Structure formats: structure tokens, C-alpha cells
Structure 1
Amino acid sequence: MAAVARGFGAAALGRLRGRFCHLGLRGLHSTAKQPPHFAALQRFPAWPAMLQSEVLVRSMFIQTQDTPNPNSLKFIPGKPVLPSRTMEFTSPASTFCSPLARQLFRIEGVKSIFFGADFITVTKESEDVDWNLIKPDIYATIMDFFASGLPVVTDEAPRPETAPSEEDDEVVLMIKELLDTRIRPTVQEDGGDVLFKGFEDGIVQLKLQGSCTSCPSSIITLKNGIQNMLQFYIPEVEGVEQVVDENDNEEKEANPT
């Protein structure tokens, strides 16, 4: 059988790889522990290792989950993404530190990418982009990436700004602790995140990320959810406002809607 494998022409090997990749994609929503073609691979152990690896990885179970934002969708690969932090990519230029985000931005119709602990939120450009058309490419890109063994982000990735520091006063420390323990976990369940950006004159400045960035209910989340909770526990908080980074403003000016 090894001789047979070596004798495959490039075209034949390509057809086999395409056939098994197709089978793997069909098995995405299967609850079976082994893909349908796993037994076939066991019968032919001498097949090229590359082909075997690709087939098995392409059978990984990727779940999708709706978010409050109809233009955002959570993809849950069943593997850690960024266990200790979150990151958002709003343009191809911002993906210099993430091979995965860079690949996802090559899919036509993708507007932004957000990495959580165990999920990836993809936001499409508009309602005119059909999820059914771009989801197969997103599935394939995620599976190919985890097969590559590359890191989700490189050492060049910027460090998070919201961690407590010695310069924070007591009120800011309480705000950050409440955000990290009570608010952010709930927001992340919806495929987004909220980051502390400052506290001045009783106003907490926050930045929304992921599915929350352009969500129709983001203002309700800020005022009725986050603001009410902060004011209940911290009397010094008079209000909450959303902050938009300069890069986001530049993007909006370059791509007005």
C-alpha cells in the first residue's frame, strides 16, 4: 500500500484530499466521536501522513452561536483561543500579530474579528452579506489554522490595558474589579467584551468590542445594564459613556455607512 500511496499522481492526490475535506465538512455537526471516514483511514494506515492529518483535523467540531447583533456570529472551535485575554481586529492592518485573524480577513464580507477565551466572533460587513455564503470559508479557515500549529497571536501582540495598576485609586480599582468579575463574563457570553478606558468627573469610559461594537442594543447594554450595576455598587459613578478609538474613527471616515 505504501507503493500505491507513492504512486498517486498530484492530480489524484488532490482529488482524494478534496473528497475527504468535503466529508469532513459534512461531519461538522455530527455528534459521533469519530468521523464517518475514520475507519477507512485505519484500513489504509500507509496513506500519506499529511492527508491523514488534514482529514482528521477537518473533522473537528465547530459550533456556532447567535449573538444579539445579527451581523455577528460566535464560532466555538472546541479549543482554547485566547484563554487569558481578549483581542479585537477591526481592519486587515491590525492583524499583524495574528495569523488567524489575517486569514479570516481574506474572506470577502468580513468586517471585524474578535478573539475570546474559547470562541471567535466574526462580524460581517452588512445585512446584505449572507451567512450561508461565508460560513463555509470561515469553518475551513479555522480548521486549517488549528492544523498548522501556529500561535493565535504572536509575541508582538499588544498587552491588555485594563489590568489593575499601582497608579489606580480606590474607585478605579473597584470599577475594574466589578467589570472583570460581574460584567465582562456576561458580555463575553454574547460574543463581545467591554474594556475600561478611564474614569473622569464621575463618568466611566468604556470601549465595546466584538459583537457589541455595532449591536443595535449596545446603548441599552451600557445604560440599563452596565451603568446601573456600577452605580449600585459604586456611588462615585455618575454615568457611563462609550469611547471609540482613533483607529475606529479613521475607519468610519474611510468607510461611511
Structure 2
Amino acid sequence: MTYPGINGLLPIKRKIMLVLNNLRRLSTSQSLLFHSSRLLNSTVYLLLGVRKLFIQAQETPNPNSLKYFPGQAVLGSGTRDFPSRKQAGSSPLARQLFRIEGVEQVFFGPDFITITKNNDFEWAVIKPDVYATIMDFYSSGQPVIDEEKSQESDKPCEVDDETVLMIKELLDTRIRPTVQEDGGDIIYKGFKDGIVLLKLQGSCSSCPSSVVTLKNGVQNML
């Protein structure tokens, strides 16, 4: 699914939202208010101006996660995981996405955004707000990551031995690209007593098939 971006027609959005606010004051039926709100919100997205920003949504193996491509760089390189609202302080975009009711996790890749929803919410309710939030954010010119507030940094680590270097190379070249294709990432956490410690992020962290991915995919390769 693709939605056009915003370019100069924000007054239309404001007028429609004004109608929505008036409807909210006049309506006495919660059901009528809800459905009218969804209709007006959908109209907002369809009337937004055309810009070189086309957001595509792609399904992942996790039914509660969708991968969004804004048509522009998100991080450019690397990944960043925000498993909760409290951990989104370094990203203005992640903070705005967490304001959407039902959003449980946010994950950024080089050119994509993975949204994981609460199981109690339907995508039909969440998706329009996600599209609008991403479009509004990219129109604002804000940075995706506020480096001054970023608390994430690479911790000094011991020099890797040959075995660890081989494990990391295998992860980076054979495994991580596949996991990132599914809207997540897999992070090396350590190697001790012949056991490789890994952490799944993004759509993979709560995916029903995560255990299968680890055991059948990663374990066999290693």
C-alpha cells in the first residue's frame, strides 16, 4: 500500500480536522464519532499534497509487525531498537510513533521503520495514524535521531579472538541481512563455553517463529 506525502496542502488537513472537532462536540454517539473520525482521517490522507515521499507497508513473518518504507533514508546505515516508549528519548520520530494507541515497539533500519502493535489492536485502526505520523515527521525536517540525547554508544570490548571474529562475520554476511529483510535484527551479545549469545530485535523479538529462526537457521549456520 502506498500513500502520497505532504507538500503545501496542510490547510486542507487543518480544515478537515476542524470539522472533526466540531463533530466531536456535536456527536452524542461514540460509535458515530469513531466511524466519522476514521472516515475524515482517511479523507485527510487522500487529500494530502503530492511530494516525493511514498510510504509503502510490507508484511513480516510476525503478524503484529509491519515494515514501512518512507522512500527516504531512515538511519542510512545500522539499526536502532526502541522496545518501549521509555527507551525512545533519543528519537523524535520514535516518540511520535509511540503516541499512537496500540503501538508497542518501534525499530529503525537503514531505509525502513518496523512498527509492532499490541495484539489487542487491529492494523486497520493503527495504519492510518502511522502513515500520517511518518509523513508529518518527514515534512518537519527533524532528525530521526537526536544525537545529543542519544544514550546509545558502543561499549569498549575485549579484543575478539579468531572464533568470535568468524561468528561475527557469519552473522553480518549470512544471517543479519535475512533477519533485517523481515523487519528486525540479530545482535551478537557474547560467546562463552561454546554458546553464542544473541538478541533478536524489531519484528523478530516478538515473532512466533523466533525460536524456529534461531534453532533452525542460526544454529545450523554456526
The answer, yes or no, to whether TM exceeds 0.5 is yes
Are 2:91 and 1:98 aligned? Answer: yes
1:12 CA displacement: 8.4
Aligned to 1:119: 112
Unmatched runs of 5 consecutive residues or more in structure 2: 1-10, 20-40
CA RMSD of aligned residues (A): 2.6
Secondary structure of the 1:134 match is: helix
Once the two structures are superposed, the pairs formed by residues 49-198 of structure 1 within 5 Å of their partners are 55-57=49-51, 60-126=53-119, 128-155=120-147, 156-157=149-150, 158-160=152-154, 167-198=159-190
C-alpha distance in structure 2 between counterparts of 1:215 and 1:139, whole Å: 23
Secondary structure of the 1:184 match is: helix
Secondary structure of the 1:85 match is: coil
Secondary structure of the 2:132 match is: helix
* Cα deviation digits, residues 80-102 of structure 1 (max 9, x gap): 11122101111111111000000
Residue type matched to 1:15 in 2? K
C-alpha distance in structure 1 between counterparts of 2:13 and 2:105, whole Å: 35
- TM-score, normalization: structure 2? 0.78
* Cα deviation digits, residues 5-47 of structure 1 (max 9, x gap): xxxxxx989327989x9667227xxxxxxxxxxxxxxxxxxxx
Q: Which has the higher contact order (CA 8 A, sep 6+)?
A: 2
Secondary structure of the 1:173 match is: helix
Aligned to 2:6: none
User: CA separation of 1:67/1:133 partners in 2, compared to 1, >3 Å: closer, same or farther?
Assistant: same
- Contact 1:24 1:56 survives alignment (8 Å): no
C-alpha distance in structure 1 between counterparts of 2:13 and 2:126, whole Å: 27
* Bigger mean CA deviation after superposition, 65-74 or 81-90: 81-90
The percentage of aligned residue pairs carrying the same residue is 60
- The structure number with the bigger radius of gyration is 1
C-alpha distance in structure 2 between counterparts of 1:175 and 1:213, whole Å: 21
Secondary structure of the 2:143 match is: coil
Secondary structure of the 1:101 match is: helix
User: CA separation of 1:160/1:147 partners in 2, compared to 1, >3 Å: closer, same or farther?
Assistant: farther
- Contact 1:60 1:77 survives alignment (8 Å): yes
The 4+ residue runs of structure 1 with deviation greater than 4 A are 16-19, 21-24
* Cα deviation digits, residues 229-252 of structure 1 (max 9, x gap): 11xxxxxxxxxxxxxxxxxxxxxx
* Cα deviation digits, residues 26-72 of structure 1 (max 9, x gap): 27xxxxxxxxxxxxxxxxxxxxxxxxxx7344x73111111000000
Across the two proteins, how many residue pairs are aligned to each other? 189
Secondary structure of the 2:188 match is: strand
